[in-house]
Amino acid sequence: MHPTTITTIARLNDLLRTTFLTGRVLMTEGIRALPEDLQSRIIEAVQTFDGFGPENDPFGEHDFGAVTVEGRKAFWKIDYYAPDMLCGSDNSADPKQTQRVLTIMLAEEY
């Protein structure tokens, strides 16, 4: 994939993750079962995550991460769907062709 395309995908993923405004955000039952204050701290940790490196972001897309809050490990993942949500996106660098979905889950739910 072209470096400019990867940079565009990472920027779009960061925008969703940090603002929750440009796609859908899902939280699993495990996250929802936590006390609200702990949910809030996990969400804040996801939104402020900046620990990207070759070991956890080998393709440079900023589409996955892990955070630990009060001893609870949570994963977050961004997936790319076509606008109708029926199949994957043909071009995840094009917001007109892509519906981004950010899922936040407890590590044990993975």
Whether pTM exceeds 0.75: yes
Smallest Cα–Cα separation from 100: which of 74, 71, 77, 72?
A: 77
Q: What amino acid is encoded at 28 in this protein?
A: T
pLDDT digits (tens, 9 = 90+) for 31-42: 999 999 999 999
Q: What pLDDT is attached to residue 2?
A: 80
- Domain residue ranges in the chain: 3-109
Judged on CB neighbours under 10 Å (0-12, 13-18, 19+), 100 is buried
| Ranges of the chain with pLDDT below 50 | none
Smallest Cα–Cα separation from 100: which of 64, 50, 55?
A: 64
Q: What pLDDT is attached to residue 69?
A: 98
Smallest Cα–Cα separation from 81: which of 31, 27, 16, 33?
A: 16
Q: Which residues pair with 74 in a beta bridge?
A: 67, 106
